[in-house]
Amino acid sequence: MSERVKSTEKSPAEEAPQPGPAHNGPPKDAVKAAKTGAALPSLGIVGMLRWAWTQLTSMRTALFLLLLLAVAAVPGSLFPQRPANPSVVTQYIKDHPDYGKLLDSVQLYDVYSSAWFSAIYILLFISLIGCVVPRAIAHYKAMRSQPPRTPKRLSRLPEYGTLVVPADAGIPASDAIEDAAALLKKRGYRVEVRHDDGARPSLGAERGFLKEVGNLVFHTSLIGVLVSVAVGGLFGYSGQRILVEGDTFVNTLVGYDQFTPGTNFQSGQLQPYSIQLDKFQATFDRESQGKFGQPIDFTADVTTKENPGAPAKKEVLKVNDPVTLGGTSIYLTGNGYAPVVTVRDGKGNVAMQGPVVAKLQGENYYSSVVIKVPDAKPDQLGFAGFFLPTAFVTEQGISFSGDPDLINPQLSLNSYYGDLGLDKGAPQNVFELDVKGLKELNSRKAAAGGITLAPGNTYTLPEGKGSITFDGVKKYVGVDIHHNPGQLSALTFALLAVAGLIVSLYVNRRRVWVRTGTHEDGRTMVEYGLLARGEDHRLAGEAAAVRSLLAGQWNLDADNPETAPSNSSSAGSPEPKKDQ
């Protein structure tokens, strides 16, 4: 054999190309010449598409797109968004003429519906699907396939050991392998016993398929979260409404004070439910020294109907405890006072009557009040001032609220007349009064002074413009109304993603092989080896557990030097003979 090898070997001189008549100089390098003369195949359109698909569906690309999506969402919190408040965006562009329109051209005021954000979202969605589906198919095939064949040299595995069953135990190699198979099955392994002709009995065992299942569940759940968020953004909606005690909100578009629809929202999605505020109760701290007067609890008693023909139902609305109607959640987000006033015009007719929502501005429910009376004749009337639930006056004549409860309510107003600008159709803020085009009737600087009213008092306006009466005080609440059809599914998929991640982190993929044989003196020789797929710092503990189970099955001493574990082949152990 050695002579034959020597005859086929060539010296470096024989392998090198020899110069011939065609060479005028030194010979070219053989490798370089081979590369130069090689015909490289062209990638082509199909090959390019296949390469692009491979890159898109790689896990590295999916993680990059996920990070890119998070970064792309940042401008949505830095700049005002048109779907939430178009007027704020318009004002922002006016206040920043140098770059406001430039930001609008790249859709930074419509981040979540922009073309570039949607492109990242869709690419991430496709990438995750392209990652998960092939892996799921491959894992399904792996679960149905048999464990890998038994290696010829188990001693090369990371964890290896041997056991010797005495001859007087009466356990042949074939029975020993069956015992080992039964023990490994109880431990959760998928086992295949091999009785090959001419070979010693062996088995292959495998477990830990849940690791990849958890990984697939995690990535599939991410797809589910993306789909759920997309469904919520497309078909969901949100809105706000202020309800004064006694008022009823009906779920229609005209019933909202502010409404933000989803991209594909249709008015037919609105469920015809209604909610009426019967009573609102705010509880304030009356015991603590440092927190006296601070709110402790808010409770709103409401009457709800799922539809116009449904029976009325009494419910309680509290902070962080919403009321759910027609798949819509109604949250309690604010509260305050609404002074009830009656305004008569210069002709003595009632031009306005009812509660006016006071906007909270400071401590102890100090609130601003704006009253617009466009139906007053002959001139439209406007009032602006503040409301104090418990009024105190300093020595300098400055009024302030000393307590949030209704102990000494007081309404202080300035009055104006003229054109309020409401007939032009331009939108106005109900909590602000533009006095530029109005003439002043009452104020501290005017000769008539300001208007200060207690409940039940009436003030007659100067110049025969009418009167205003402070009838009393009601309470109001602010509610946020959210309808997100993908909310429950997003939560479900998020929990599944966490569960899948935990399983993939704590479950290990392991393989065990056991081979048995009968020695010439009748002893049964058993060797085993373990291999982990990936890094597994607990593999040594698993090897010790397997050894303990096998030793216990055959009443052996696992600590006996003759059967002690070894990470290499057993030196000096007798060679077993084949079990016939």
**Does residue 530 surpass a pLDDT of 60?**
yes
Scan for tokens 């469904």, then name that residue: 231
Report the 10 Å Cβ neighbour count for 201.
25
**What pLDDT, on the 0 to 100 scale, is given for residue 565?**
53
**Does residue 77 surpass a pLDDT of 90?**
no
**Does residue 548 surpass a pLDDT of 90?**
yes
Residue 237 exposed, middle or buried by CB count within 10 Å (0-12, 13-18, 19+):
buried
Which of 459, 476, 493 terminates a domain? The answer is: 476
**What pLDDT, on the 0 to 100 scale, is given for residue 16?**
43
Write out pLDDT tens, residues 472-497.
999 999 999 999 898 899 999 999 99
- Same-domain pairing of 421 and 436: yes
- In-domain check, residue 33: no
**What pLDDT, on the 0 to 100 scale, is given for residue 38?**
60
- Same-domain pairing of 94 and 153: no
Average pLDDT, the chain: 85
Alpha carbon distance 244, 222 (integer Å): 43
Alpha carbon distance 446, 142 (integer Å): 89
- In-domain check, residue 569: no
Q: What are the E-state strand segments in 104-221?
A: 159-165, 190-194, 202-207
- Same-domain pairing of 518 and 406: no
**What pLDDT, on the 0 to 100 scale, is given for residue 8?**
41
Write out pLDDT tens, residues 99-154.
888 988 889 888 888 889 989 989 988 988 888 888 889 888 888 888 888 998 99
Q: Judge contact between 112 and 84, C-beta under 8 A.
A: no
Percent of the chain with pLDDT over 70: 88
- In-domain check, residue 468: yes
Q: Judge contact between 250 and 269, C-beta under 8 A.
A: no
Write out pLDDT tens, residues 450-473.
999 999 999 999 989 999 999 999
Of 87 and 258, which is predicted with more confidence?
258
Split at pLDDT 50, 70, 90, the class of 385 is: very high
**What pLDDT, on the 0 to 100 scale, is given for residue 329?**
92
Report DSSP letters for 488-525, one per residue. HHHHHHHHHHHHHHHHHHH---EEEEEEEEE-TTSPEE
C-alpha distances out from residue 31 to 23, 42, 471, Å: 17, 21, 102
**Does residue 411 surpass a pLDDT of 50?**
yes
Alpha carbon distance 271, 9 (integer Å): 88
- Same-domain pairing of 457 and 549: no
**What pLDDT, on the 0 to 100 scale, is given for residue 28?**
53
Write out pLDDT tens, residues 189-217.
999 998 875 568 999 999 999 998 999 99
Which of 335, 365, 391 terminates a domain? The answer is: 335
Split at pLDDT 50, 70, 90, the class of 521 is: confident
- In-domain check, residue 37: no
The first and second tokens of residue 98, run together, are: 């140098």
* Four-CA torsion 435, 438, 441, 444, nearest 10 degrees: 30
- Same-domain pairing of 454 and 340: yes
Scan for tokens 């890159």, then name that residue: 55
**Does residue 538 surpass a pLDDT of 80?**
yes
- Same-domain pairing of 373 and 467: yes
Alpha carbon distance 132, 275 (integer Å): 45
Q: What are the E-state strand segments in 107-175?
A: 159-165
Split at pLDDT 50, 70, 90, the class of 7 is: very low
Residue 43 exposed, middle or buried by CB count within 10 Å (0-12, 13-18, 19+):
exposed
- In-domain check, residue 30: no
Percent of the chain with pLDDT over 90: 44
Alpha carbon distance 461, 348 (integer Å): 12
| 68 three-class SS | helix
Closest by CA position to 378, among listed 454, 254, 461, 316: 461
**Residue 463 belongs to domain spanning:** 336-476
Closest by CA position to 533, among listed 217, 220, 215, 212: 212
Write out pLDDT tens, residues 571-580.
334 444 444 3
- Same-domain pairing of 408 and 351: yes
- Same-domain pairing of 292 and 373: no
Which of 285, 314, 335 terminates a domain? The answer is: 335
Write out pLDDT tens, residues 43-60.
788 888 888 888 888 878
- Same-domain pairing of 126 and 160: no
**Does residue 338 surpass a pLDDT of 80?**
yes
**Does residue 278 surpass a pLDDT of 60?**
yes
Of 291 and 406, which is predicted with more confidence?
406
**What pLDDT, on the 0 to 100 scale, is given for residue 13?**
41
Alpha carbon distance 571, 345 (integer Å): 113
- Same-domain pairing of 359 and 459: yes
**Does residue 566 surpass a pLDDT of 70?**
no
The first and second tokens of residue 411, run together, are: 């309404």
Number of domains in the chain: 5
The vertex-359 CA angle with 353 and 364, nearest 5°, equals 115
- Same-domain pairing of 520 and 390: no
**What pLDDT, on the 0 to 100 scale, is given for residue 268?**
83
In SS3 terms, 518-580 reads as ECCCCCEEEEEEEEECCCCCCHHHHHHHHHHHHHHHCCCCCCCHHHCCCCCCCCCCCCCECCC
- In-domain check, residue 27: no
- Same-domain pairing of 458 and 378: yes
